[in-house]
Amino acid sequence: MPVPGAYEPELEFSDPSAVRETALFSFNPLVWLYFMLSFLIVPYPIYQIVAKRYNWETNNKTLARHWSDVMLGLSYGTILFVFGNYTRAYSWITVVAFYPSLFGYALIAELPFTKTSLPNIKNWPFGMWAVFLTAVAIILAFAAFHIYWAATLALPFVIYYVCSLLIPIFLMVVSLTLIKENNENYIRTKIHNFRVSRLASKKPSKKNDEEQQQEAEESSSVAPVTQQESAVPELHNPYTRKLSLHLHHWQIFYMLAFFTRFTHPVSQVGSGIVLACYMEGICAYGYDQLLND
């Protein structure tokens, strides 16, 4: 059995100074602890105190809901830390950018014209559109920089980096498919219609004259039941509630936080901003669902 060298880590934790920017995942327990303290454990209670002091809009959470949100925060945060390569990307710049962004986003959310949600987009006032379009422009500017920076790194990193956008797209498509299936019985209807058309396309078996005459005599004494009706059960809809899609801002910015994974100061500032917007949603409202019934 090989013996570890004098400086070889036995537990195989990632060394923050040795992890490359192109690493798809990494983990160091000490940096993970700093990450959780900076972006969850410390800001969560501070936000609750400040929000209550200034009467900001929040969900009325029970102690159990607070505990649930913190546990989910640890789970979601660990996934982000590992696959966002924050062992390498975590820095004081991200922390400094985080706290002003956290409370700045909260103040913007308290403006009268921003007290609305994405599903109500058709009724947005002009002020909400101005804030939304400004945010989209900032996100696109950061996205352009990050794709450019990823392209300067060794191949094939930029391919993985850009193609990873397919993951949230896939999850959104699955969500929309579930809504269509639940609300319209879509997939079950397609399967049912396929079975009916398949049975209808089958040719009847050839029978001699005696068998046809015997079946005719028997059918005259009982109610006619077609082969299709006996073979294909009646279409059943097991869904009793309608589903709707509600995309929350915590979900959008949590996804973006996987892409602000570089050591460049612009990326670290962007990381602080998206982590702050994500955590504002969690502190104020919790982990609300994407699909609602």
* Tokens at 274, concatenated: 């998206």
Which backbone phi and psi does 182 adopt, to 5 degrees? -70, -45
Take residue 135 and report the two structure tokens written for it. Answer: 């945010």
Point out the residues of the chain with pLDDT beneath 50.
Answer: 1, 6, 222-223, 225-229
- Tens of pLDDT, residue by residue over 138-160, are 999 999 999 999 999 998 999 99
User: SS in 3 state form for 135-171?
Assistant: HHHHHHHHHHHHHHHHHCCCCCHHHHHHHCCHHHHHH
100 preceded by a cis bond (ω within 30 of 0) = no
| Separation CA 85–CA 95 (nearest Å) | 16
* Start-to-end Cα distance in the chain: 57
- The predicted pLDDT at position 225 comes to 47
Distance CA 266, CA 244 (A): 37
At residue 232, the pLDDT reads 57
Can you tell me the distance from the alpha carbon of 141 to that of 150, in angstroms, rounded to the nearest whole number? 14
Separation of alpha carbons 216 and 205, rounded Å: 15
pTM: 0.83
C-alpha to C-alpha distance for 98 and 101, rounded to whole angstroms: 5
Are 13 and 27 in contact by the 8 Å Cβ rule? The answer is yes
Per-residue model confidence (pLDDT) at position 9: 56
Beta bridge partners of 15: none
